[in-house]
Amino acid sequence: MPLPSHSRSVVEEPATRSVTRRVLSVLDVFAGERGWLTLSDISRRTGMPLTTTHRLVGELVSWGALERSHNGRYQIGLHLWAVAALAPRGLELREVAIPFLEDLSETTGRQQVRLAVLDGMDAVLVERIRARGAGSAREPTGGRSPAHATGDGLVLLAFAAVAVQERYLAGHQPGAGLRRALAEVRRTGFAMSDQIVSVGAPVRDATGEVIAAVSIVVGPHGPRPSTLGPAVVVTGRTISRALSRRAEGG
């Protein structure tokens, strides 16, 4: 395996690094973005000159990381989706969790059941069992909500790294109430949210780290949220156990 000489790597490294960051900063513009963006939008949001943006976007389109609409706007491309769809945290988690999510939904009168992970400051929906009669008004997989707004998000935040929690609390009014709520989640092992009426519980990997959260969103004629804690916690533990079994098997 040829190794670059020391002098070559010193010359090459800063430029390389900055190009990689630029490529990723273009992709970041589309995180949580469902609309199609113009080159100017991308240039403005990345802070890159229009010519650099144009060149990078062109390369990303030709690989399939972005696609260009008939009216010259851009969105994430099919090839990137296809490459990323097999991400293990999305995929294994969903494969393992789906039957248990369905059981939880069935045994609680077909409430909406969510499985979410923390990405930055947001709870990102990995899978969802729709409530009975919810029709087509479905939040898509990959959809984001502020972590404090849902039972699953509160759980993810409560068990996140302290630095993440502090950053979240600093940007959130009123921080004190949320701080107490997170401490309560860690004490009881589940979260009740009344913003979006829901009950959440953690999903852990084989090392005990919280990697996801399951929640029930309770409809207006659903059961009292306070009665649902045990069922949600049991579902979280069952999924955690199934993940650990699979980790041992692999």
What is the binding site for a copy of itself (CB under 8 A)?
Answer: 1-4, 9, 13, 15-17, 19-21, 23-24, 27-28, 30-34, 36, 43, 49-52, 55-56, 59-60, 63-65, 67, 70, 75-91, 94-95, 98-99, 117, 119-120, 124, 136, 138, 140-144, 207
Question: By C-alpha distance, which of 162, 198, 204 is closest to 182?
Answer: 162
Q: What is the DSSP letter of 37?
A: B
The minimum distance between CB 43 and a copy of itself, in angstroms, equals 7
Q: How far is the first Cα of the chain from the last one, in angstroms, to the nearest whole number?
A: 30
| Strand pairing category for 122-129 and 66-68 | unpaired
The minimum distance between CB 140 and a copy of itself, in angstroms, equals 5
The minimum distance between CB 205 and a copy of itself, in angstroms, equals 9
Q: 24: which 2 tokens?
A: 């990723």
d(CA 90, CA 86): 7
d(CA 226, CA 204): 23
d(CA 100, CA 108): 12
Question: By C-alpha distance, which of 27, 1, 4 is closest to 16?
Answer: 4
The minimum distance between CB 185 and a copy of itself, in angstroms, equals 21
The minimum distance between CB 213 and a copy of itself, in angstroms, equals 14
